[in-house]
Amino acid sequence: MRWFKRKDRRTRAGGVIGPDESELAHWNTSADERDDADLEDPDGAVDADEDGSEAVDARGEPAHGPWDVAEVPSEEGLIDLGAVRIPKRPGLQVRMELDKKTRRIVAVNLALEGSALQVQPFAAPRSEGLWEELRAEIAESIKKQGGSADERTGAFGRELLARLPVRMPDGRSGTRPARFLGVDGTRWFLRGVLTGKATVEAHAAEVMEDIFAGIVVDRGNEPRPPRELLSLHLPGQSAQPQAPAQEERLTIRLPKRGPEITEVR
């Protein structure tokens, strides 16, 4: 039995965009402290095709999410964080990330068993997705910082496997692996950054990919320019007032806390 019935969707692949300075909000909860509701995997699901096109099941429908809120018959088992609903999982740690200047929530950070996933939802054009133009921008920005980024096909289509430069406590240079995921939806773009065990262990990757695939995006009906960050809020609270218009091209945002695996140069 399928969990959700899918409507029209565009190409899914990897990317990351977002504002700069941030800190963690004073909120941290474990999903297993709430009423857990495990979500079934859709029958007949398959991986993305080698050419990066969207994976479909035996009936020709997309095999998994992320989903648009219009496709969801029920939000049971989801944590409402505004523009995104996060699937509950036992042991899942959820932190909200704040911009230091505006005090606006700018990202959702999820941590589970040594893996971390940072999530951000953005407004996107009606006629086309953001990934095609973002992919080269992201890779170039990482390289300018002294890291590397290689494109490959993953569970959500094209993604970037990167090695991000870091400074070790003893002053030596190192790198940490990260996977940049993204999905172009109906006038929205959802990006995720995987770090920690999910970048090097197959089982850990599957667990975090399942969480990313279960996210529901609620863009709202307000007109928004492409790449504008959609509103996020703490559980049980109303949406925050929209911040002043941000720059058209938002900069790469990397998780600053959570599980990490580093390599010394």
Mean pLDDT of the region 65-87:
94
What six digits make up the tokens of 93? Answer: 């740690």
Question: Is the peptide bond preceding residue 66 cis, with omega within 30 degrees of 0?
Answer: yes
Is the predicted pLDDT of residue 23 greater than 50, yes or no? no
Strand pairing report for 263-264 and 173-184: antiparallel
Taking a C-beta distance cutoff of 8 angstroms, is the pair 22, 97 a contact?
Answer: yes
**pLDDT given for residue 18 in this prediction:** 36
Longest distance between any two alpha carbons in the chain, whole Å: 55
> Integer distance in angstroms from the first to the last C-alpha of the chain?
49
When mean pLDDT is compared across 92-106, 138-152, 234-248, the lowest value belongs to 234-248
Predicted confidence (pLDDT) per residue in 218-246, tens digit: 999 999 999 999 999 998 776 555 544 44
Strand partners, 94: 29, 110
Residue 50 has pLDDT above 80, yes or no: no
As a whole number, mean pLDDT of residues 159-167 equals 94
Task: Spell out the residues 6+ positions from residue 89 whose beta carbon is closer than 8 angstroms to its own.
Answer: 31, 32, 36, 112, 211
DSSP E strand boundaries for the chain = 12-13, 23-30, 67-68, 78-80, 84-87, 93-98, 105-112, 115-123, 148-154, 157-167, 173-184, 188-196, 216-217, 263-264
Output the pLDDT for position 250. 47
Q: What number is the average pLDDT over the span 183-208?
A: 96
Structure tokens at 128: 């086309």
Q: Is a pLDDT exceeding 90 seen at residue 13?
A: no
Inform me whether the pLDDT recorded for 173 exceeds 60. yes
Q: Is the pLDDT of residue 87 over 70?
A: yes
Per-residue HEC secondary structure of 69-134 comes to: HHHCCCCCCEEECECEEEECCCCCEEEEEECCCCCCEEEEEEEECCEEEEEEEEECCCCCCCHHHH
pLDDT at 55: 52
pLDDT at 114: 97
Higher pLDDT, 37 or 117: 117
pLDDT at res. 133: 84
4 phi and psi, to 5 degrees? -125, 150
Q: How confident is the model at residue 49 (pLDDT cuts 50, 70, 90)?
A: very low
